[in-house]
């Protein structure tokens, strides 16, 4: 966010001259702030939906005092520091949570600018000085409005992301529970995948998307008959052929979609049983033909399954599971990714400890 904030300041050309001009302007406007705030809050009172967000007159007055402080000490003073950034984002998020319509919230900035133009016409006779003040104020007001708008959408998108993650995990658990797996397995696997991605130098957005997408790797098992999926013994050849269809089923369940998480989830579902040497399924992909997310998910899925106890097998020791990954390096697994996994064993241990199975 810090880099984006600096980019916004640069884009609006808020430089040292702008800041100095704002500080001149601040001393001029300070005695007239009540007039400015009266106009803003008359606008609020005139809108029933906006005024309804305040529980009583005292709440409205507190909001007014807080907003006035923000304008005087930050926006009109040119104090665009970390405190300003946090305050502006907090104001935007608060208004979003209160249900204030963004169009109305943006309209308040128009009221502010209109009042400032009127005040400057009255207070500053020199046209060049008036123009200099207005240029600096316009830049500052649009910076503030842009950050507040960002906070609105950021809060909304976070809520949507939380909802999407819950839906994803619910769908993933549907597949896991049918296979005698646990919800903790998909949580651990997702966290391990994220740590591997970060260790590989992928950015936080990609790594986070991988954590959200990887739990859907076995969603296709929803389409496998219980008599096969829950069979306690070894599958026969015909049954195994049906089981091998679950990656394709997963690719059918998860739609083709431009969203990063959904694209990843579909690729993982389709490719987490492919093998580095080309002997996997369903497509027999080889090496880097297998998407990176599928190669990462394969390692994390197998490792966590090996060290976890199941009704049909005891848990392997950590060393035995790590030895297996190394034995299969270059055959089942991408050798570079196996090396990466070995480097993050401490992080993997912490994940397994935090999301351990509940004992009865």
Highest mean pLDDT among 116-120, 215-219, 231-235, 271-275: 271-275
Q: Where in the chain is the domain with CATH 1.10.3210.10?
A: 179-354
Query: Tell me, what's the pLDDT at 3?
Result: 43
Higher per-residue pLDDT: 3 or 95: 95
Q: What is the mean pLDDT of residues 165-177?
A: 61
Query: Tell me, what's the pLDDT at 199?
Result: 98
Higher per-residue pLDDT: 91 or 33: 33
Query: Tell me, what's the pLDDT at 183?
Result: 63
Query: Tell me, what's the pLDDT at 135?
Result: 92
Query: Tell me, what's the pLDDT at 62?
Result: 85
Query: Tell me, what's the pLDDT at 145?
Result: 84
Residue 182 confidence (pLDDT) above 60: no
As a whole-number percent, the residues of the chain with pLDDT over 70 amount to: 89
pLDDT band per the 50, 70, 90 thresholds, residue 128: very high
Q: What is the mean pLDDT of residues 296-321?
A: 92
Query: Tell me, what's the pLDDT at 177?
Result: 53
pLDDT band per the 50, 70, 90 thresholds, residue 160: low
Residue 1 confidence (pLDDT) above 50: no
Higher per-residue pLDDT: 51 or 82: 82
What average pLDDT does the chain have? 86
Higher per-residue pLDDT: 45 or 174: 45
Residue 215 confidence (pLDDT) above 80: yes
- The whole-angstrom separation of Cα 100 and Cα 331 is 57
Higher per-residue pLDDT: 347 or 226: 347
Higher per-residue pLDDT: 154 or 238: 238
| Threshold 0.75, pTM exceeds | no
CA 232 to chain centre: 40
Class of domain 2-157: mainly alpha
Domain 179-354, CATH 1.10.3210.10 — does that match? Answer: yes
Q: What is the largest CA-CA distance in the chain?
A: 93
Q: Give long-range contacts, CB 8 A cutoff, 24+ apart: 144-148.
A: 144/75, 144/88, 144/109, 145/106, 145/109, 146/8, 147/5, 147/8, 147/85, 147/88, 147/89, 147/92, 148/88, 148/89, 148/91, 148/92, 148/95, 148/105
Query: Tell me, what's the pLDDT at 59?
Result: 78
Query: Tell me, what's the pLDDT at 94?
Result: 78
Residue 192 confidence (pLDDT) above 90: yes
Query: Tell me, what's the pLDDT at 323?
Result: 98
Q: Where in the chain is the domain with CATH 1.10.490.10?
A: 2-157
Identify the CA nearest to 214 among candidates 165, 143, 276: 165
Q: Whole-angstrom distance between the N-terminal and C-terminal Cα of the chain?
A: 45
- Does a cis peptide bond (omega within 30 degrees of 0) precede residue 263? no
pLDDT, one tens digit per residue, over 36-80 is: 888 888 887 787 766 777 767 887 788 888 888 988 899 988 888
Residue 250 confidence (pLDDT) above 60: yes
């Amino acid at each position: 966010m810090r880099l984006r904030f600096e980019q916004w300041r640069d884009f609006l050309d808020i430089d040292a001259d702008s800041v100095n001009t704002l500080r001149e302007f601040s001393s001029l406007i300070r005695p007239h702030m009540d007039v400015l705030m009266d106009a803003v809050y008359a606008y609020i009172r005139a809108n029933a939906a906006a005024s309804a967000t305040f529980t009583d007159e005292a709440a409205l007055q507190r909001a007014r005092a807080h907003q006035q402080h923000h304008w005087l000490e930050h926006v009109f003073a040119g104090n665009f520091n970390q405190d300003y950034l946090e305050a502006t984002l907090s104001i935007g998020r608060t208004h979003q949570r209160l249900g204030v319509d963004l169009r109305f919230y943006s309209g308040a900035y128009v009221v502010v600018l209109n009042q400032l133009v009127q005040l400057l016409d009255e207070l500053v006779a020199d046209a060049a000085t008036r123009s200099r003040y207005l240029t600096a104020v316009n830049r500052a007001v649009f910076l503030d409005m842009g950050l507040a708008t960002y906070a609105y959408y950021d809060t909304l998108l976070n809520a949507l992301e939380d909802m999407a993650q819950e839906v994803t995990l619910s769908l993933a658990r549907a597949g896991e529970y049918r296979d005698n797996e646990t919800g903790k397995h998909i949580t651990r696997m997702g966290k391990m995948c994220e740590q591997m991605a970060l260790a590989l130098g992928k950015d936080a957005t990609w790594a986070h998307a991988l954590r959200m997408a990887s739990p859907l790797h076995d969603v296709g098992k929803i389409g496998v008959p219980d008599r096969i999926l829950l069979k306690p013994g070894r599958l026969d050849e015909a049954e195994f052929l049906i089981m091998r269809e679950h990656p394709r089923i997963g690719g059918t369940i998860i739609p083709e979609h431009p969203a990063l998480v959904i694209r990843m989830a579909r690729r993982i579902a389709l490719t987490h049983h492919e093998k580095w040497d080309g002997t996997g399924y369903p497509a027999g992909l080889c090496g880097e033909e297998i998407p990176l997310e599928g190669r990462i998910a394969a390692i994390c899925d197998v490792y966590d399954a090996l060290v976890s106890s199941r009704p049909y097998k005891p848990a392997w020791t950590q060393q035995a599971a790590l030895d297996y990954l190394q034995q299969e390096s270059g055959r089942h697994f991408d050798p570079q990714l196996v090396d990466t996994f070995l480097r993050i064993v401490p992080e993997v241990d912490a994940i397994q400890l935090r999301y351990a199975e509940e004992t009865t």
